[in-house]
Structure 1
């Protein structure tokens, strides 16, 4: 007898033991194992569903954050552009005000120079007339007393000088 020819009574005992162990596993342990595996599968599926929901919510929050960030960048660009435009306007206003003040100063200075020129010209004409009368009196050897006549001669001379100056200009 060897392993290839088992004894019938040993074979029956082995078959009964196998059947007892098999039925014990099939009726008692296998349902508990299946129940534990089912619970584990449900827990994994629930965790996966929860993780997918959290991931979807995170994507929505990220998209909202990106949209707000983009809007904030656009708003910052608009504010910068408005500030640049306002700066240009202020510079133009200051330049215009400076130009106006410069023009006023130039006009005032020109008017003052013209008034000073007229006063200086009148004073010089009087001095030239007085010197001319003194010189003419020294040349003649006697003082010239007809100031009205001397004034007419000086006026005629100055009129000729003014006419010559205006034709040259």
Structure 2
């Protein structure tokens, strides 16, 4: 520590030999670090850079795949909705057709029942008319026999009397109906 005794030397400025030795040691350490440590640091930085860039690329690819899948889903959903609307419309048309067919069948059955009823009524009317004619004929024959005072047992005579009597009744019924209309 001679510099304090020699004079006023600045402690911040080193001596020439110390400066040279210090610079030499600095460059040696810096060279060793540059040769050994710097490539490892650069390699790690490159790996990180590749990982980040690769991650971004994978993320972009995944995003693109997700967008494609979403578009496919939307397309399928639109097709499904269209198909559902078509099936619904088809079901409505079939339902309307079935209802129309059932109405027509009901109408045909109703008309058949009405026609059968009219035919049955007509057959019953004819049967009642025949039975009534026989009854009226028998009663008319008995009455005519009592009025005339002779027996009308002869079937030909009896038939003529019955027919004449019934014709007169029919004529009176037609006159009554003609007057009512």
TM-score, length-scaled by structure 1: 0.79
Task: Give structure 1 stretches of 5+ with no counterpart.
Answer: none
CA distance in 2, matches of 1:90, 1:3: 116
Report whether the alignment pairs 1:75 with 2:75.
no
Indicate the SS of the match to 2:127: helix
2:68 to 60, 69, 90: 60
1:142 paired residue number: 149
Q: Which runs of 5+ in 2 are unaligned?
A: none
* Superimposed CA distance per residue, residues 99-134 of structure 1 (whole angstroms, 9 cap, x where no aligned partner): 212212211221221122123123212312321332
Quick check: 105-114 or 10-19, which moved more?
10-19
- 1:25-71 per-residue CA deviation (whole Å, 9 max, x = no partner) reads 34442243123212320221022112211220221122112212321
Question: Corresponding residue for 2:28?
Answer: 20
Contact 1:137–1:144 under 8 Å retained in 2? yes
Measure the CA separation in 2 of the matches of 1:50 and 1:144: 129
Q: Which moved more, 1:53-62 or 1:143-152?
A: 143-152
The equivalent of 1:159 in structure 2 is 171
Q: Per chain length, whose mean CA-contact separation is higher, i.e. which structure has more relative contact order (CA < 8 Å, sep 6+)?
A: 2
Relative to structure 1, the CA distance from residue 152 to residue 127 in structure 2 (aligned partners, 3 Å threshold; closer, same or farther) is same
Within a 5 Å distance, the mapping from 1:82-121 to structure 2 comes to: 82-121=90-129
2:57 pairs with 1:45: no
The answer (yes or no) to whether the contact 1:134–1:143 under 8 Å persists in 2 is no
Structure 1 distance, partners of 2:14, 2:114, is 138
Confirm or deny: 8 A CA contact 2:141 2:161 kept in the other structure. Answer: no
Q: How many residues align?
A: 168
- Which of 124, 132, 135 is residue 140 of structure 2 equivalent to? 132
